[in-house]
Each structure stands twice: as C-alpha cells, then as structure tokens.
Structure 1
Amino acid sequence: MHHHAHHTHEHAHDIDWDALSAHLEREAELHTPALTRATHWLSDLLGGADVTRVLDVGSGPGVVTGLLADAFQDAEVVAVDQSPALLERARVRSGGRITTQQADLPDEFGTLGPADLIWSANAVHHLGDQQAALTALAASLRPGGLLAVAERGLPVRFLPRDIGLGRPGLQARLDAGHEDGFTTMRAELPGSVDRVEDWPAMLACAGLVPTGTRTFLTDLPAPLGLPAREYLHTRLARQRDQFGEHLDDQDRAVLDALLDTEGPTGILWRSDAFYLTATTVHTARFCTTE
C-alpha cells in the first residue's frame, strides 16, 4: 500500500521505488502548505489531549509524517508503509525525528499498536475492502483518539481549457481516463468490495464519531516554478503510459507536445501552466461512554 499510488495503477513488483519516491515527494512538497494547515486543524481537534503516539499509515516517503512530527512534538510519530525503500527515505528525510514500521496491509493492521492520532492519505483506496480497512484502523485508536483520512478532494487543474493545441478540454479527458483506470484498479484488488464512498458514514460504521470534514486548497498560479513543472511533466508521462491508448490520436499528439522537454509547447516551458488542487480530510473520534 503506497501513498498516493492512485497516480500509478501499477502492481508493487513493477514499481521503480526510487523514481516513485521522488515523484511522491515532489507532489507532497507542492501540497505542504495545505497539509500543514490540515495538521494544525487536527491539533485543534485534539485540543490539548495528551498525544503520545501518531501513525501515518501509507506514509510513502514521509513528507506528511514530518509535518505531523512538527505539529505533535511530544509524540512518537511513526511512518507505516509496505515499502522498505520509501520508509528509508522517510527516515532520512526526517533527520531521525520519526520512527518507521514496515507493514503489509490489510494483513498486518493488527501490528500497528495503539495511537492517539492516525493519519492516512490516499491509502485506504488501495485496499479491497475500504470499510474493513477503516474499521481496522479505528481498532488501533486509544479512547479519545482521532482518525483522519484524506481521500478524493478535487483533481489537479494545471492548464487552461484551450491550450492552442488540439481540441480544447484535454484536462477533462485526462480526468476521465484517470477515473476509468482508478475504477479498474479498485475492481482488480483482492477482496474488492463496491461501496458508496461516503467517508463520514464509513467512519461512523467503523464505530467512530465523525468530527468534521475540511478541504485544504493548493493554489500555485502561473507562472509556475520549476519543481511544480517537473512534477507535472512526470505526472503527464505516467498518464501517457497508463491510459494513452484510450485517448484519440490527436490527444496523444498533444500529450507528446506537452511532454517535449525542449519545445515551447512543453509543460516545462509554458507560461500558462498553473497548479490548483484540493485535499479533503475526513475525521472521526473514538469516543467511549464511561
């Protein structure tokens, strides 16, 4: 289970973890101001509670794990992921401020140990039974503990509708290809269960009390800095590989023009490129009646 791997739709044994790690890190760094605001919100929700152990489940290279360590400085903060390579990156990134735990989910949910806060971003959707995954995460919460799940939000927008190449509306067609790929990915997961993805209702079904949903905006206007452009170039290249064959010839040609690293049509050079997206976080608490 790897953080943000909905951009990949690949099987774990096919993945170049170093390349993926760099891509995931760059993505999370673009979102860092929004994610930092999210961690402050979680801190407010926990309001002075004694937070001693925090889990980032599906941590990937550990960008958010580090932000959680900033927000909860007295807690042990643990990056949990299936990939030893990504966990090593998380450890190095944090300068030793976090600990790491390798776990293959859903089989090893029971090994996570108790926590006051569990964060999981774009990870639950890689497990066949999302409800069972949330219920298992809830089981690791201490009384009063909080589960925060970042799922869906808004898809990335990075180009105007008409980019002067091909048929306008390329971005919407890429979104449609991504959604079809996502649906296929979910259908092929072991033990896949169809479910209405009403996250607060699913958290309630896991035995928790929903404590609110918030969305945090990432808004980088044009002209865009190079790290964001490089991220978009990688993202477009991955989309070309994943569902390029489902696009028509004209859209494929436009994608190739956007991927051109030398020409002015390329995403690395266009003055009209921007980066706009939103991260939605659903929270719920384990309340005990004493």
Structure 2
Amino acid sequence: MAHHHHEHGPTDVDWAEMGPHLEAQAELFTPVYERVMAWLGKEVTEPGLIVDAGSGPGVVACLFAETFPGARVVAVDSTEPLLERARDRAVRQGVADRFDILAGELPGVLGELDYPADLLWASRSLHHLGDQRAALTAFAARLAPGGTLALLEGGLPSRFLPRDIGIGRPGLQERLDVVQAEWFARMRADLPGSVAVTEDWPALLTSVGLKHTRTRSFLLDLPAPATDRARTYVAAILSRFRQEIGESLDAEDLATLDRLLDPADPASVHRRPDVFVLGAYTVHTAVRPV
C-alpha cells in the first residue's frame, strides 16, 4: 500500500500518477527520517534484512540502505509503478546491489520474503489494513528472533499557516482537521474486514507477542519563509483537501481555500511570506523475543 507519509486522501488515488509528489514529499521529510534511523540504529545495530512495508517510491527504503550499509533492503508495496521508481532510485544512489522490491498486498505478501527481517518498518501503511491487530501479528511473524518492528502511526496534524491568515475566518486548518478526522473514520470503517480497535500502539504490539516497546516523536520544523519545495508540498496537500473534502466545507472556507491555491493571488500559499511546515511524527517499536 503506497500510503506512506501521505496526508490522508481518498482510497481511489492513482498512486502511479502520485509518484513524483510522493517522492518529493518524502525528500522534504528526510530530516525526520534521518533522526528516526539514528534512534533505531541504537537498538538495531547490524541488521541483515530491512523491510519497508508500504514503501511507496522508495525514498525511505534507500535511506535505510545508506544508513545501514551492511543490510539488504526490500521495498514492499502493492503499486508496481511506485516500486519501479524505488528500483530506479536505488540504482541512482548506488545501493541497487543490496536493494530488492516485492509487489503485493500487505500483510500477505510478506510471506514471500526469503528470510525473516531484522527490522520491519511500516510508515502509515498499517491503518489502511482492515484488521490492524491481525496485520501486526503477520508483521511480527516475519521478524527474526530479536528483530524490531517499527511503526510510524499517530503524531499530530501538520500546520502550514498562522491561525489568522488575514482572509476568511481564523482557524481554517483546525476546521480542516475535523473534516479530515471524520473522513479517516469513514475510511477505516469501509475497509474490507475492518475491525475497530483501540489504537494504543504499544499495547497492540505487546498483544501480538512483542516486547520492549518504545515510543518517540520527531518534529519536522521548516519555518517561514518556506522554500519552493515546501510551498509545493503545502499547495499539493491543500489541493487534495480541496478535491476530497471540499463539499464538507462551508462557502467561506471553500472560498478561502481557493484563494490559498490561486497562484495569481498574493494571499496564496505560492506567494505569501508566512507559509511554514510543522509536524510531529510518532514511531513505536517493539522486539520479537529471542
């Protein structure tokens, strides 16, 4: 499932078309991933196999290959065009000799791995699976004894703009959060085999037989004035909001969103000086007993 680190959208996305956006977004988030890997590296010292479950275009999988030069890395995703981007990236970055791709639906496709993983990374892919506890059980089963499962789930909604942006009613992003949360609940309920579960990730990891849970959050803090890459990311996210949840907004908020997205408008995110990116991303880990 190619949903990793993508702000939530509809379930019928053309992920192949989204490839360049997902790649650019993951590159923007590289400072977060580098800090996550430094943290993971204190516990996962010399992994032989690292699996990125829900890898998308492979930006993070290639970072794993660079960070752990002794490891083989397998990028797993259901979207083959994104996996082709991952393979091409591995070639460009000189890690192709230790880099493989595996196409199929999680979690079943993990059964095709040649041997157990020392580190299995799942970044916002788990919540797209109907039965999250069953998926965690399958993830845990693919770990080597002493292997680590790392989930990026939760965190805080991202912020891009001040509360009062000088147009429309103050608090636009907070209202978008509410609509997004309602969409997310519907998305979860509509998944095949959906099972409601309390999303206490350390407790869930423990419930599938893993030990030594740890949790840490990492900040992405790109202050104003935003770079062109950050502006492009913000515009892309707000454009998707406009397409996906626009009908749930009132007329004033919709008009504000349209102004924020109009490159010709001085108040747009393309031009205004106060655009920033601030987000918190939470990683939970646990270890398979030896």
Q: Is TM > 0.5 for Structure 1 vs Structure 2?
A: yes
The SS at the match of 2:272 is: coil
Report the RMSD for the aligned CA atoms in angstroms.
1.3
Q: 2:227 maps to what in 1?
A: 225
Query: What percentage of residue pairs aligned between the two structures are identical?
Result: 52
Spell out the pairing of 1:160-239 with structure 2 (5 A cutoff): 160-239=162-241
| 2:17 aligns with one of 16, 19, 24 | 19
**Superposition deviation, residue 236 in structure 1:** 0.5
**Superposition deviation, residue 34 in structure 1:** 1.1
| 1:107-161 CA distance string (max 9 Å, x none) | 3332234111100100000000011111100000001100000001111101000
Q: 1:199 and 1:39 mapped to 2: Cα distance?
A: 19
Query: What amino acid is aligned across from residue 230 of structure 1 in structure 2?
Result: T
Structure 2 unaligned spans of 5+: none
| 1:245-281 CA distance string (max 9 Å, x none) | 0000000000000010122111111101000001110
| 1:160-201 CA distance string (max 9 Å, x none) | 000001100000011111111111110000000101100000
The SS at the match of 1:40 is: helix
Query: What amino acid is aligned across from residue 44 of structure 1 in structure 2?
Result: K
- Work out whether 1:34 is the aligned partner of 2:32: yes
Runs (4 or more) in structure 1 with deviation over 6 Å come to none
Query: What amino acid is aligned across from residue 247 of structure 1 in structure 2?
Result: L
Q: 2:105 maps to what in 1?
A: 104
Q: 2:284 and 2:246 mapped to 1: Cα distance?
A: 33
Q: 2:54 maps to what in 1?
A: 58
Structure 1 unaligned spans of 5+: none
- Which range is displaced more, 223-232 or 17-26? 17-26
The SS at the match of 1:16 is: coil
Query: What amino acid is aligned across from residue 270 of structure 1 in structure 2?
Result: R
- TM-score w.r.t. the length of structure 2 is 0.94
CA contact (8 A) 1:80 1:101 kept: yes
**Superposition deviation, residue 67 in structure 1:** 1.2
Query: Do the aligned partners of residues 127 and 6 (structure 1) sit closer, same or farther apart at CA in structure 2, a change above 3 Å counting?
Result: farther
Spell out the pairing of 1:235-246 with structure 2 (5 A cutoff): 235-246=237-248
CA contact (8 A) 1:6 1:122 kept: no
| 1:73 aligns with one of 69, 72, 83 | 69
Q: 2:162 and 2:234 mapped to 1: Cα distance?
A: 14
Query: What amino acid is aligned across from residue 105 of structure 2 in structure 1?
Result: D
Q: 2:274 maps to what in 1?
A: 272
